[in-house]
Amino acid sequence: NACLASPTADTPTVVPVRSLQGHELFHEGLIMEHCAEKSLEDYVRDHCTEGGGAATLDEFVVVRRLIAEILLALDFLHRVKQVVHRDVKLDNVLAVKHQGDVHAKLADFGFSKALQPGPQVPSHAGTVYWWAPEMAAAYTNDETLSTTFEGHLALDIFSLGMLVFALVHGNPYLPLSPRCLGTEVSPDGAACSCQGCSTLGKLSGRFPTELGNASVKDLIRRCVSTDPSRRPMTQELRRHALFTSVFQDERPGVSRMEPAISFAELLSLDL
């Protein structure tokens, strides 16, 4: 039984919410942008090749751009604002159209936390499946997570790796985590055959570019390390081969090259 009053010129996105009688002001609300494409969860379900099947290079281009934009959002939060999101997942990324292309906007900061140098206040937050193993362990043991400034940022990096896996695999994404548990690594350095690597193997041949497939799997593997200190920070991820390499469509009879991602160009878009 409430209605929105008109926004003011000074605060065009903040409006008072009044009762239908028009006199009782009980809180304020934000007017948010309408994202017709809904969340990336919806976008993956509606537009991506289902369940790890062979996808086109066009799909690879879109997925790579979306990953780059989510990374830019986290880079801004972590390095400029010293904020950790703590609930990075497909449902919390909104899809918007700009000049016919789909782009990503990170949303829902309900679990976010402003960080200060030094010891951090213990807490736990996030969503099952997407959260880092150290957060899951704290929740399972009915404890709060006590970690460092960098340890908090590493929570988002793990969730980013899970998001990339789900985005690349397509709906329905696998219930297994692609994180490498390191339980079956051979002493002679042979390829790991643990559950995490087997899960990542589901992405082999996903796109018609072997370099692209290898780059995606390498980025995920780095992000979902069970050791938080080994997860790369956002500035390192921006230099990853997934964004800096040129990719070729390797299908017979197809001659097409996709250039490296220009982060400067993405930042210049008026989304």
Q: Please report, for the domain that includes residue 235, its CATH number.
A: 1.10.510.10
| Helices and strands (H, E) in the chain, number of each type | 9, 9
Q: How far apart are CA 24 and CA 185, in angstroms?
A: 65
CB 74 within 8 A of CB 233: no
- Rounded to whole angstroms, the Cα distance separating 150 from 194 reads 27
Distance between CA atoms of 158 and 176, rounded to whole angstroms? Answer: 14
Please give the sequence-ordered ranges of beta strands (E in DSSP) within 109-250, or none if there are none.
113-114, 247-248
Structure-block tokens of residue 86: 């703590």
* Any domain includes 217: yes
Residues 25-60 have pLDDT tens digits of 555 566 677 788 899 999 988 888 776 678 899 999
Q: Is residue 149 part of a domain?
A: yes
Decide if 109 contacts 85 (C-beta within 8 A). Answer: yes
In a 3-state reduction of DSSP, which class is residue 203?
helix
Tokens encoding 115? 């960080």
Are 115 and 121 a contacting pair, CB within 8 Å? no
Residue 123's pLDDT is 74
Could you tell me the residue range of the domain that residue 71 belongs to? 39-261
Domain presence at residue 140: yes
Asked if residue 23 is part of any domain, the answer here is no
Alpha helices for 19-174 (secondary structure H): 40-47, 57-75, 133-140, 149-169
Cα separations in angstroms, 9 against 12, 69, 155, 190, 271: 6, 31, 39, 64, 22
pLDDT computed for residue 173 by the predictor: 66
Question: Could you give the CA distance from residue 72 to residue 58 in angstroms, rounded to a whole number?
Answer: 21
- Cβ neighbors of 240 (< 8 A, separation 6 or more) are 215, 218, 219, 222, 232
Let me know: does 84 contact 159? Beta carbons within 8 Å.
Answer: no
pTM: 0.84
Residue bearing tokens 């982060």: 263
How far, CA to CA in Å, does 164 sit from each of 41, 117, 174, 188?
A: 12, 29, 12, 30
Does residue 18 belong to any structural domain of this protein?
A: no
The CA distance from 41 to 89, in Å, is 8
- Whether 17 is covered by a domain: the verdict is no
Question: How far, rounded to the nearest angstrom, does the alpha carbon of residue 179 sit from its chain's CA centroid?
Answer: 15
Residue 28 lies in a domain: no
Residue 178 in any domain: the answer is yes
d(CA 42, CA 50): 13
- Structurally, the chain folds into a number of domains equal to 1
**Could you read off the pLDDT tens digit of each residue along the chain, which spans 271 residues?**
444 455 555 555 555 555 555 555 555 566 677 788 899 999 988 888 776 678 899 999 999 999 999 999 999 999 999 999 999 999 999 999 999 999 999 999 989 999 987 766 667 788 888 989 888 888 888 777 888 889 999 999 999 999 999 999 887 666 667 776 555 445 555 655 566 777 888 888 899 999 999 999 999 989 998 889 999 999 999 999 999 999 999 888 888 899 999 999 999 998 7
